[in-house]
Structure 1
Amino acid sequence: MFENLTERLSASLAGVTGRAKLTEDNIKDTLREVRMALLEADVALPVVKTFVDQVRDRAVGQEVSRSLSPGQVFVKIIKTELEAVMGQAEGLNLAVSPPAVILMAGLQGAGKTTSVAKLAKTLRERQKKKVMVVSADVYRPAAIKQLETLATEVDVTFFPSDLSQKPVAIVEAAMREAKNRFMDVLIIDTAGRLHVDADMMDEIKAVHAAAKPAETLFVVDAMTGQDAANTAQAFNEALPLTGVILTKVDGDARGGAALSVRHITGKPIKFLGVGEKTDALEPFHPDRVASRILGMGDVLSLIEQAEQKLDKDKAEKLAKKLKKGKGFDLEDFRDQLQQMRGMGGLGSLMDKLPMMGKINPAQMETAQTQAEKQFKQMEAIINSMTPAERRNPDIISGSRKRRIAAGSGSQIQDIGRVIKQHKQMQKMMKKVSGKGGMAKLMRGMGGMGGGGGGGMLPPGGGMGGMPRF
């Protein structure tokens, strides 16, 4: 979402980062560029004005002039003010007598029903809550069935409702059932509505009064830009919102919504929807988002993502196998590829790595697409091998390569490339499992970018001097 903003801000700040001294003139020029970058990202004008004024006040003061590296301090000020604009990270407040009710509101098509399922899964898996979901959307025929299907997928309790019922009656019945079944949380999905539709707004007010929710979350599409903040504000005037879920953050939104919502509504963004899958929901951390915008990466989120999605049993099994001196075979290699794809693929990982903002977005997107395509092909090739071939690739002769190529829809040279990449990974794993393994691994990372497509990125896929994986 922040690619264009990152690129523009990086270019704007490049002129001051290395300066030994900052003057009011060069600060003024840089802030003009920053202002344009924010406006192009569809950040609301009042937010831009406040942000630029705050940065200017701090930058021309003693904080910068007395620093040994004023350019770096200036970037730090930009980061701090970006965090201030987006507010502090705030989780859900569910410290009420169970069941804690969460009411979801928003426009039609914003992704409320999917967000209900994502939130239910997050609460069940990360906070070990017993969750029930219910649909009070009696206007969209498929809404109730959609939520039932998603509830089954994320393994939470679904309370049935039908189009003949009134939304308030549905909510009251669901609350009784949730209490009887000792549920920790009840999440209510409501119909999409426009804030100018008086009847629909009266209905959701009645639902809110009946539910007395601990959290009232406004679900809004990030691609609507600064208008997302204005719509949230209109809803906030009718309902006492407690927070916002920003959806479709993985799309080509320009970032204006994330930077505008808190300032305009006074309500925090609590979650980001970062994909279509039910596990694609991230808590909103302003400091991490600010780092990502400035091309500093988001390593903490990457670590959390790895902890949640990597298969710990497989990792421990592999570690024990390596410790016993047994080799890293092609089945292990396939597992590593599958786990990387499970974390959202190379694009999701690279988005959180430092310095990625300095790489041309079009070049990065091309490399990511090529890499994802190559990963799928590699997996298909390994799947086309026999168990004996996966355990011992040295037995793969020319005739076997032809059979594997035919079975995986690839070329014979692709089989050789996978075997070569596996051998490189095998060497790295030996270094990791030996004494001083991590230090040896880091020294060996440069070798993964060997010629002839030896790295994990496609041939020619190295970007801006970045080592291949």
Structure 2
Amino acid sequence: MFETLSRRIRDAVDKLRGRGRISEADLKATLREIRVSLLEADVNFEVAREFVAKIQEKALGQQVLESLTPAEQILSVVYEELTEVLGGEARQPVLKNEGNVWFLVGLQGSGKTTHAAKLAQFYKGKGRRPLLVAADTQRPAAREQLKILGEKVGVPVLEVADGERPETTAQRLRQHLTFDYRDLVLVDTAGRLQIDENLMNELARLKAAVGPTETLLVVDSMTGQEALNVSKTFDERIGVTGLILTKLDGDARGGAALSARHVTQKPIYFAGISEKLDGLEPFYPDRLAQRILGMGDLQTLLEKAKAAELEAPLKAPGEITLEDVISQMRQIRKMGSFGDILKMIPGMSRMLPAGFQVDDKALNRLEAIVLSMTPRERRDPRILNASRRKRIAAGSGTSVQEVNRLIKTFDDMKAMMKTMHKTKGRGLFRR
């Protein structure tokens, strides 16, 4: 989402690299470029103005003009301020031992129902016993959607009836919890295509009857500045304790995501990073700031690797086979898309060309080629003569040329690994 903004900010700062000292005019020109890039990314005007003003104040105060590394100094200040704009210290909803009732509110189409199920799966994985409540009394389709999602994540769903009164819903919920103990209740409330009086009155009555401990507003990051107006209205009428930003993996300019915390003064608790039910992450302002500035995000990368139980092949370079390559590829896929993973490596964003995307279909074709080989061929590609390669291409739906490229790439990779092994010692490939 932030690729264009990220590149614009880095380009503005990079103009100062390699220079000894800079003038105040140089600094102001750089900050002007940063401000323009923020506005073009649909960042709220007041947020952009205040953001740049604070950077200028800190940059001048830290004697950046006297520094021998002005670019690094300014980048450090931008990182600090960007982290602060996004919320500063990471926060999560209050979660007691029991009695947790969370309201999910938002417009229809924002991803509210899907993220109710995502939260259920997320906390179920942490040992909680969630219950989903399909509380839209006017849209049976919304209730049916939550029932389907509840089955997928293995969490029960309490469904309201058409036109059911809030007081009745609250009573049924209490009764349900007496015979089926649950320590986290996630209420998927009614949504509309736009805010109206009936929606707000309905939500206010249900909130008064159920008494949620958290009210989470689900905000679609793709809707730009309109998302901020929606957030303010929901907070004024219903009262919001935190935000969930959806579609952070989309191709929008990202301004709403950068402005949401500042404009609403509510913490961002979670970020939706994919349409999959496991595509939900706690929101860390400092980590997102690092990604935007091309500084990588090793902490998230390590957490993903741990969650995917990623293991390195315990083999010497000359012993690695195509079976090992496919095994590693499958493990890495558990962590998300290859493109996102690459960008979490510090410095990698600078090395990748603009608009870089990993072609997952091409990776699928490579896997198909390997799977079309016999076990012996995977272990020793040297036996692949012309007829074998033709058979593999036909079996994988690819061409002989693609099979040849894969084998050539694999041979080059092994040669490179052997070179690294010799120059850096056996510590890299310890048995």
- TM over 0.5, yes or no? yes
**For the Cα contact (< 8 Å) 1:402–1:412, is it kept in 2?**
yes
Tell me the SS of whatever aligns to 2:157: strand
1:399 corresponds to 2:399: no
Partner of 1:58: 58
Partner of 2:331: 339
**56-65 or 210-219, larger mean C-alpha shift:** 56-65
Report the residue type matching 2:28 in the other structure: K
Unmatched runs of 5 consecutive residues or more in structure 2 = none
C-alpha spacing 1:85/1:399, structure 2 compared with 1 (3 Å): same
Tell me the SS of whatever aligns to 2:173: helix
- Give CA-to-partner distance per residue, 1:91-137, whole Å, 9 cap, x none: 43344351311110001100011111111111122x22111112112
Partner of 1:83: 83
Tell me the SS of whatever aligns to 2:326: helix
Q: For 1:52-451, what aligned pairs fall within 5 Å after superposition?
A: 52-96=52-96, 98-125=98-125, 127-163=126-162, 165-166=164-165, 168-193=167-192, 196-308=195-307, 310-311=308-309, 315=311, 318-319=313-314, 322=315, 327-358=319-350, 362-365=354-357, 368-369=358-359, 372-423=360-411, 436-439=425-428
Shift of 1:5: 0.5
Tell me the SS of whatever aligns to 1:16: coil
**For the Cα contact (< 8 Å) 2:2–2:253, is it kept in 1?**
yes
Unmatched runs of 5 consecutive residues or more in structure 1 = 442-469
C-alpha spacing 1:184/1:361, structure 2 compared with 1 (3 Å): farther
Shift of 1:170: 3.2
**191-200 or 273-282, larger mean C-alpha shift:** 191-200
2: CA distance, partners of 1:13 / 1:159: 53
Shift of 1:142: 1.9
- Residue-pair matches, total: 429
C-alpha spacing 1:93/1:222, structure 2 compared with 1 (3 Å): closer
Tell me the SS of whatever aligns to 1:43: coil
Report the residue type matching 2:10 in the other structure: S
- Give CA-to-partner distance per residue, 1:312-349, whole Å, 9 cap, x none: 5xx38x54xx38x9943333322222222332222121
Shift of 1:28: 1.5
Shift of 1:395: 3.9
Shift of 1:33: 1.0
C-alpha spacing 1:279/1:424, structure 2 compared with 1 (3 Å): farther
1: CA distance, partners of 2:297 / 2:133: 35
**176-185 or 251-260, larger mean C-alpha shift:** 176-185
**For the Cα contact (< 8 Å) 1:328–1:429, is it kept in 2?**
no
**For the Cα contact (< 8 Å) 1:297–1:351, is it kept in 2?**
yes
**424-433 or 94-103, larger mean C-alpha shift:** 424-433
Shift of 1:36: 0.6
**For the Cα contact (< 8 Å) 2:298–2:344, is it kept in 1?**
yes
- Give the TM-score normalised by structure 1: 0.83
**For the Cα contact (< 8 Å) 1:137–1:167, is it kept in 2?**
no
**For the Cα contact (< 8 Å) 1:79–1:290, is it kept in 2?**
yes
Partner of 1:455: none
Tell me the SS of whatever aligns to 2:271: strand
1: CA distance, partners of 2:417 / 2:162: 58
Tell me the SS of whatever aligns to 2:356: helix
Shift of 1:15: 2.3
RMSD over equivalenced CA pairs, Å: 2.8
Partner of 1:460: none
C-alpha spacing 1:243/1:416, structure 2 compared with 1 (3 Å): same
**For the Cα contact (< 8 Å) 1:10–1:357, is it kept in 2?**
no
